[in-house]
Every structure is written in C-alpha cells, then in structure tokens.
Amino acid sequence: MSVGTVNQTWQVRAACRGPRSGVFFPPASGERRDERELREARAKVICGECPVTAECLDYALSIKEPHGIWGGLNEHERSHLLATRAG
C-alpha cells in the first residue's frame, strides 16, 4: 500500500485533535531539554487516553514520520523501534 492510499479515517477519533495538538510538536523557536521533556510527557498522557494509538503509531512508522509524538512515541523512540524491527 502506498503512503497516498493509507487509510487515515482513524484520525477523526484521535484524542490529539483540536487545541491539545500543540503539545505533539516542538515550537518553531526551539525549546530547552526540560521543556521538551515536559511537553512530550503531556502529549504521551493524551496518547494514553486515545482510542486510536495503535493506528497512529502504525501510520507514523509506515511513513517514517521524522517529527513529533505519534502513537505515544517521539521521533527517537520510533526510530529505535524501526531499527529493532529491522533486526
């Protein structure tokens, strides 16, 4: 399945939609490590309440999303997961 045909209907049920979405990506102006860790922790709490976390993570892994929190994992955690799966 190509990325253009990935079924994304799960996104309408995502807990990150709306005003809470700002915590899933770093600000354009940059952030300190402690600020990033706090922002990511807030995002992961939202992911923990989300009914489509698995679909979100699968999507991010399939497109190798390089930024933000997707499916409860940040870009470094997803990269590590992909490397582990590659074996």
Band of residue 85 on the pLDDT scale cut at 50, 70, 90: confident
Residue 43 backbone zone (phi > 0: left; psi -120 to 50: alpha; other: beta) = alpha
Residue 48 lies in domain: 8-86
The DSSP annotation for the chain comes to --GGG---GGGGG-TT-GGGGGGGS--TT---HHHHHHHHHHHHHHHHT-TTHHHHHHHHHHHT--SS-BTTB-HHHHHHHHHHHH-
**pLDDT tens per residue across span 11-62:** 999 999 988 888 999 999 989 999 999 999 999 999 999 999 999 999 999 9
Residue 1: is its pLDDT beyond 50? no
> Does 69 map to a domain?
yes
Let me know if residue 1 belongs to a domain: no
Is the pTM here over 0.75, yes or no? yes
pLDDT at 20: 80
In a domain? residue 3? no
Check residue 37 and give its pLDDT: 96
**2 falls within a domain:** no
Residue 68: its pLDDT value, please?
95
pLDDT at 78 over 50: yes
Cβ–Cβ contacts within 10 Å for residue 55, how many?
19
Give me the number of domains the chain comprises.
1
